[in-house]
Structure 1
Amino acid sequence: MSIVRRAPFFEVPTHVDVAGQSVLVRPFQLVVWVSIQIRGRLSPRFPAILDTGFSLNFAMQEEHLRSWTDLSPESLRVFGRSRINQQELRLYEASVAVHLNAAGQRDVFRGGDPYELSLREGIIIYPRGNPLGPRLPLLGLRALAQNNLETVIDGQRRELTIRRKRRLFRGW
């Protein structure tokens, strides 16, 4: 099952619209649209950058959490801490759901429920005003690997595909 189907990425800056604002996407950034899920409730969708160099699950700034999802850190349960760039940050209990795009489109969506990622280590919310927080939310390699997802970055076509690992039928 394809979750993200041939979503394009670009060699030039582009913009996405989220919560009434235009947000810059830098060249070669891989955009996936996600929601925060807590207690079975999905937030409005917002863009995240797929960053295979980010070794944790998911991180975002408190400002984005508040303005794009109508959630706050106080609405999430803290269940641990993680050290990033020599600072200790809280881990919050939540999952992330990836929205299904229309094939070949980055910002157009197809029907169906978003694909929920199980995140045992939770998500990181950088406190308001923290200068080391990511410019846009980051979806890290750990989230993909722990959910057994296959990720293809087609450099020639400038497309991203994320899918559940195919199971091969094995005969008797």
Structure 2
Amino acid sequence: LRRTPGDPATGSTQQQKLAAEQLVVRAHGDGLETVVIQPGVVHGPWGGQWTTAQLRRPAGDFAQLPAGDDGGVCNAVYVDDLAEAVLLAVDTAAAAGERFLVGHSEELRWGTFFDSVRALRGPGGPAPVTAGEPVADWELELYRSTARADYGKARRVLGFTARTPFAEAAAVTAGWARWAGEAPEAGA
């Protein structure tokens, strides 16, 4: 993967997250037990980057984003499932000092993910943007990736398996988004 200016993996937020993770890993021991949870695309009620930010993104972006069965693999996890993984990690002695990738084993395509956002935004979504910046190359590259995260360690050590299928999670998120004013009421 080639890093380019504007790529969040080269930005200060990603660098800070990596630095914090390294501090946590180094702090393990001497009376302090640590564990690192590395979730995939976290979605659901009150979700920032992958829920509310997607609902608020410029309408013009959606023409460039995958639809239907298009796009690569979206390694996603519903927020309630992530919370369960965190609780298991805290309560499992064998988790101490370890890192765990956390996500759902269901194969979710980015097209399906963005179709759920499109459906929720509906015709009452934010006004279309006719001009603006194209979706960044690094972002489009992410949506083409077929890399699949391996959640086997979380399953073996924590006994964690994400239980909420994407369709169910999307339905709950839709109800929340309407309630929170992030999406138009159904039929509006």
TM-score bracket, normalised by the shorter chain, equals under 0.3
Compute the TM-score of the two structures, normalised by the length of structure 1: 0.25
- Higher fraction of strand: 1
Q: Report which of the two structures shows the higher radius of gyration computed on alpha carbons.
A: 2
Instruction: Flag the structure with higher helix content.
Output: 2
